[in-house]
Structure formats: structure tokens, C-alpha cells
Structure 1
Amino acid sequence: MIAFALFRESSPALFSLMSAVFGAIIGSFLGVVAERIPPMLLDDETRINLLFPASHCPACQHDLAWWENIPLVSWLALRGRCYHCASAIPLRLWLLELFSFLFFGATAWCIPDIPALFSLWLLSAFLLPLAIIDGRHMLLPDCLTQPLLWAGLLVHLVHPTLPLRDAITGAMVGYLSLWLLYWAFRLITGREGLGYGDFKLLAALGAWCGWQALPTVILLASLTGLMGYFIFIKSGNKTAQIPFGPALAFAGLITFILQIFSLIA
């Protein structure tokens, strides 16, 4: 940590640039996570995991050469299409790499506290694929939400930006608050308004941000979800279910960033 701090202090521009490149690489891997975890969980016959098979075109099964797998650059060079079969490469993968590139670079420039910076990167590395998976499949996998919760507790144990007691309380209150809301809504309407994955994600965010931040997280998530609902309504899609996970992920990330800036101010 000391070496990174000295590097940032001596060459902040170079540190930010290298962080941005690192972010693009991480974003490329997060794209793999977001694309592969749903079939791993939903398809009993699938034989893929996060490491095998190697990166390939899902349409023609062509293994990607190294020059077809460069974050940000390859998608642009290939014009968003497979070199062999010309099938479309999802734009969301390139946008994820771009966001990670900009996010890692910008936060490296703005946040001098290296442990807090690395904690923020770790949180974003979980929240980004969770938001994508829930947005596409209405699914918040336990294999991501549960490690995220334990990572939050571990971060505050190693680098206590808030008391560990507050983090543990935040995890419990985060889960129970949505669990109670779920059952109240179900008893009143007879319908399910939330999924159990939402409870676990808010529990994880409570572990990261503390119980005091949960009202802010829920308020931001509710406003974001409401905006998404009105966008769907305006687009003419009045029957689609609106996933709450992306709104929670956005709110949790913003809240944690605000906490970091309040500590370093």
C-alpha cells in the first residue's frame, strides 16, 4: 500500500492512466462474469465456467486470437462484429470496459487514500456484473452477493473506515428491512414485489456502508427505480418487470463514494 501511495504522490497522472488501463482489463473480465454466470446457474447441461472454455464467439465457437481480445480496442477494430462469422458482439461488453476504464482512472485521480480506493474498486467489481445480470435475467446470484457481503466485513476489519459493529448491524438491518417490506407487500396485494436477491444485495451494501447509510441507499435506489419505471412506461412497455438490483447497485456505489470523500475531506 505504501508503494502505491508513493507512486500516486510522485506521478498522479501516470498512476491514473495505469489505473484506467487496469480498469479496462477488469471490465473485460467482468463482462465474462456477467455473460457466463447466468447460464452456469440456469442451464443444468452447460459445461462452461469463468475460466473454460477460452474466450470465443458464441455464434461460431471460434476461439478469439489475442488481438481480438484487447479491451476497448478490439471491439472498435472489429466494428462490433466477429471476425469470422460477422455476428454482432454485444455493445454492453464494450460499454462495461469503457465505464471501468473511466471509473478506475477518475477515482485514482480523485482519491488519495489507497486502501479506500482499492476498496471502492472491489465494490464496483461486484456491483457492475450484478447490475447487468439482474437487468437482463432478473437474477442476483448468491455466488456474487454473498462474497460481496463478506468482503465488506473484511474490508472494515482490515481498514476500518467505520466500526465493524456498524457494518455487521448494517448487514442484518439491510436484509431484514427488505424482507419485512416483501412480506408486507405480499400480504396486502398477494403478489411478490421483490426477490430474495434484493434482500441479500442490500445486506451486502449494509456491510459496506454501515446501517446509518441504509436510508440513503434505499432512497437513492427508490428514486432510480422510479425513474427506470417511468422510462419503461414512456417507451410503451407497461407489462415488463423492473429489476431493483441495478438501482440498488447504483445507490450503493454512490453512497460508498460519498462516504470516502467525507473521510478524506
Structure 2
Amino acid sequence: MSGLVSGWHAGFDAALAGIFGLLIGSFLNVVIYRLPKIMERQWALECAEMSGFTAQNTAAFNLLMPRSRCSSCGHVIAWYENIPVLSYLFLKGQCSVCGTKFGLRYPLVELATGGLFFFCGWRWGLSWTGLAWGGFAAALVTLAMIDWDTTLLPDDITLPLLWAGLIVVVLGWNPAINLSQALWGVVAGYLSLWLVYWAFKLVTGKEGMGYGDFKLFAALGAWFGWSALVPIILMASVIGALVGITMKFSSGLREGGYVPFGPFLAAAGLTAMVFGPQAILGVIGL
């Protein structure tokens, strides 16, 4: 009987976390779209100031303002048109005014985030540990999508993710590793890709990755410890190779033939969260 009650509690925690994750996923769609634009506006403002120009007054544009609206007709999205997944299905994936199609990615991001939060609720319950790993998952989903769209990994997410990894270890919310393992994970994660970057640049004269990749890998080191970095980078490389080959044969590569590495690091990090870093080695046959 106690096992049944325990299972019911675990299911309730997971369901509640999953619903919360759907709501977070809806917000992540806003972050994925707006944060790169906010960064571009900030860069333009800084360039104007350095050039001696006075920046013109512009309307507020941040993660909260203005309200979400249709990009075609400007229709402001009502609250009942913004319910995760359900509104997309009810509206058949299109604007209620002009009929412009909304991308399928919006509900997919919501479902992915909801599923990850469901897992965190099932594994760790409604605890600080579960909340911490839910935030970790949300950050990786956001970084993966932004990097895929823009080849940017914003410091506004990678650096807080790194510090959060160290903090949750200190607070005891990540008992799988200790602070020494987390700190050396940060150092090894950053320096390993930094060395690869410079070796590649010295040999080819080209930049193979960006500094955001170093910071993201360092953040993963903070969450999993230094010993998990080899399985994570191997998994990221395997996923990246498979996606790159598929895109090449389907003529889906972008101009220049590049594929950002951040999404694959994020995917490997989420795989490590769900299955454990060492299980990755078994998946890829090592």
C-alpha cells in the first residue's frame, strides 16, 4: 500500500511539474525570439554612442513588453490564445484574425519543456533539487534554439547557468558531485574547447566555434563535474555529426556549410541529466 501511495505522490509531483513546464515553455518561446533582438538593439545603441550619435527614442522592447502579437497583421494575442499547446490546437496553428500560420516549433518547445519538467518532478519530486534541474533544462532548451537560429549563445544565460551549477552544489541540491568536482568541471570545460578553438584556428586560419561554446561547456562541467565532460562532448559530437550528415544529404546546410555546436552540447547535457553521464558511453558503444 505504501508503494502505491508513493507512486501516486510521484505521479502527482510529475504532473504538476509538467504543467508548470508547459507554462515555462510558453515563456521560453518569447525569450528565444526576443533576447537576440534585444542584444542587437543594445549593440546598435553602443555603436551609436561610440560614434558620437544620439540614440533615437524607441518603444520599449524587452521580455515583457510589448505584448505578443501576430507578425503579419499586428493582432495582439489574447491570454486565451496563449494557453500552451491547447491554444495552438484550437486555433489550428494560425492567427485568429488574418489566418497567418504560426510555426510548429512553438508547441514543440512547450511540449519539450513540459516533458523535461515532468521528468524532473518524477525523479526528484517537488523539491529544490527538482526545481534546480528544471531550470537547468529550461536554460538548455533556450540556448539550443537561440544558437540554432542565430549562432549566438548569450552570456545572459550561459553565465548564470554556470554560477547556478556551482551554487546548487554548495547548497546540497546536487549531491551527485562535490564543489571540487564542479569547480574543476568549469575549468576543464572552458579550457578544453578553448584549446581546440585555437588549435583549429592556427591550422586552418578559421574559427571553428565561438566563445559561447566554451562557456556552455564550462556550465555543463559545473552541473556534472569534470569526469562527465568526456561523455558529454562525445555525445555532442555524435549528435552533431549525424545531424550534419543528414542536412548535407538533404541540402539543408546553411550558406557556408556550418552547423552551430551549441544545440548539440545542450542535447548532450539533457541526455546526461536524464540517463546519467556514464550511460552516454554505453549508448555510443564505449
> Normalising by the residue count of structure 2, what TM-score does the alignment of the two structures yield?
0.83
Read off the aligned partner of 1:127 and give its amino acid letter: L
What do residues 16-48 of structure 1 show as CA deviations (whole Å, max 9, x unaligned)?
222211111011011111011111112337741
What do residues 128-185 of structure 1 show as CA deviations (whole Å, max 9, x unaligned)?
0100000111111111111111111111111242111111111111111000000000
Give me the whole-angstrom Cα distance separating, in 2, the residues matched to 1:139 and 1:158: 31
Which residue number corresponds to residue 268 of structure 2? 251
Which residue number corresponds to residue 226 of structure 1? 241
Secondary structure of 2:170's partner?
A: helix
Does the CA contact (< 8 Å) of 1:8 and 1:15 recur in 2? Answer: no
Secondary structure of 2:233's partner?
A: helix
Instruction: Give the superposition deviation at 1:111.
Output: 4.0
* Matched pairs, number: 256
Distance 1:261 1:227, change over 3 A: closer
Read off the aligned partner of 2:269 and give its amino acid letter: G
Residue from 186, 192, 204 that aligns with 2:207: 192
Does the CA contact (< 8 Å) of 2:116 and 2:137 recur in 1? Answer: no
Does the CA contact (< 8 Å) of 1:39 and 1:46 recur in 2? Answer: no
Which residue number corresponds to residue 41 of structure 1? 39
Instruction: Give the superposition deviation at 1:103.
Output: 2.4
Secondary structure of 2:228's partner?
A: helix
Read off the aligned partner of 1:166 and give its amino acid letter: Q
Does the CA contact (< 8 Å) of 1:208 and 1:256 recur in 2? Answer: no
The yes-or-no answer on 1:164 pairing with 2:182 is no
Does the CA contact (< 8 Å) of 1:124 and 1:253 recur in 2? Answer: yes
Does the CA contact (< 8 Å) of 1:170 and 1:203 recur in 2? Answer: yes
What is the 5 A alignment of 1:135-214? 135-159=148-172, 160-161=174-175, 162-214=177-229
Instruction: Give the superposition deviation at 1:112.
Output: 4.9
Instruction: Give the superposition deviation at 1:113.
Output: 8.2
Does the CA contact (< 8 Å) of 2:228 and 2:278 recur in 1? Answer: no
> Normalising by the residue count of structure 1, what TM-score does the alignment of the two structures yield?
0.89
Residue from 89, 101, 117 that aligns with 1:88: 101
CA RMSD of superposed structures (Å): 2.2
Which residue number corresponds to residue 71 of structure 1? 84
Residue from 9, 16, 24 that aligns with 1:18: 16
Does the CA contact (< 8 Å) of 2:25 and 2:109 recur in 1? Answer: yes
Q: Point out the more displaced range, 46-55 or 146-155.
A: 46-55
What do residues 99-141 of structure 1 show as CA deviations (whole Å, max 9, x unaligned)?
1222222442344583432222111110001000001111111
Residue from 133, 137, 143 that aligns with 1:120: 133
Which residue number corresponds to residue 240 of structure 1? 257
Instruction: Give the superposition deviation at 1:10.
Output: 5.7
Read off the aligned partner of 1:11 and give its amino acid letter: H
Which residue number corresponds to residue 55 of structure 1? 68
Give me the whole-angstrom Cα distance separating, in 2, the residues matched to 1:150 and 1:135: 24
Give me the whole-angstrom Cα distance separating, in 2, the residues matched to 1:181 and 1:157: 30
Give me the whole-angstrom Cα distance separating, in 2, the residues matched to 1:261 and 1:213: 7
Give ranges in structure 2 of 5+ residues lacking alignment: 45-57, 280-286
Sequence identity (%): 42
Give ranges in structure 1 of 5+ residues lacking alignment: 1-6
